[in-house]
Amino acid sequence: MFCPRCGNQAASDRMRFCPSCGFRLDGVVDLLARDGILANPPIIPQSQEPSPRRRGIRQGAILFFSSLVLFLPILFVSMEIFRSPFPLLLLASLFLAGIFWMLYYRLFGDEYAPPPKPVPVMRPAPPPQAALAPPQSMPVYRPPSEPPQPQSVIEKTTRTLNRE
């Protein structure tokens, strides 16, 4: 298998990390085994807040019904105290404002909520760059003072028997 980041061929398919760049290979093995389909696809949370249209209609309805329910008793009391049409004009204006608010958002409000903010995906930090040069395929240098190693089992056995 080849590393998707650096193109280096790994020694075996069981390796978890690329020996050259440190890229994690176990996820690549899972993707290859499932033909590119994720085992546990990331779950994108759906936005729970209503669309601007629904929110505007709801605000208009609150204004409409609050003008009826809350201000109706205040209207009768204030009309008896002040003996003027001002409280009636206030109630009528709130009532009509609620109706027009709902109508405006029904006709011109955006149907869809804004897309949710993207969830940050935690990615592993890239491995630090090695201070040493990458390994190269060169013969190992042996100082001349070391005796050469036996080349075969027969030579080793023969030397052992000669010593005895």
Per-residue confidence (pLDDT) for residue 147, from 0 to 100: 63
Per DSSP, the three-state class of 2 is: strand
**In the structure encoding, which two tokens stand for residue 80, read together?**
């008896």
List pLDDT tens digits, range 88-107.
Answer: 777 788 888 999 988 998 88
List pLDDT tens digits, range 34-62.
Answer: 777 776 666 655 656 778 888 888 999 99
**In the structure encoding, which two tokens stand for residue 148, read together?**
């050469």
**In the structure encoding, which two tokens stand for residue 139, read together?**
């013969």
Residue predicted with more confidence, 158 or 1: 158
In the block, which residue shows the tokens 């809350």?
70
Per-residue confidence (pLDDT) for residue 120, from 0 to 100: 72
Closest alpha carbon to 30 in 10, 19, 16, 44: 16
